[in-house]
Amino acid sequence: MQQKNLPVSAIYGDTMFCLSENHTKIPRIKSNPSYRMPFCHQSVFVKTALLKQHHFDTSFKICADNAFFTTIYNQGEQFCYIDMVVSVYDAYGLSSKPSWQYFKDEVRIISRHNILHLIPFCFKYLSMVTKFSIKSILPSKLRLKIQSVYNAK
């Protein structure tokens, strides 16, 4: 995501999710940065000046971080990936499961930048709901095995 000779505004690395005491994973996020950040917000370092210039929009109940990073990316700020684990955290936080609030926040962000991205997001969200529903009925031992082996959240 970095072009030659342009200053880097944000540096991000990998995140290790703790699924249980004995199961972890490092997901490879494949998102289009023009509408969804391709990293976990705990694993990015951003210039203080940008944070002061673009405050988090607290009208987003879940996705204020995504709104911030999507905005600065679409304004041409440069991001640089480093191949190392930067943060470790519990994989079962508020945004780990599909919700109506999450959906509404994401649609608002996409609408600000490019409404055409709404189509792939809706398919991705439908996939997320389907996976979450299947995981909720699986025995935890099987679910953890699948999540850690197949890089599934």
24-75 pLDDT, tens digit each = 888 877 777 887 888 888 899 999 999 999 989 999 988 999 999 999 999 9
108-149 pLDDT, tens digit each = 999 998 899 999 999 989 988 998 888 889 998 888 877 777
Sign of CA dihedral 80, 82, 88, 91: positive
Q: Residue ranges of the domains in the chain? A: 8-149
CA atoms within 13 A on the CB side of 83: 0
Q: Is the pTM of this model over 0.85?
A: no
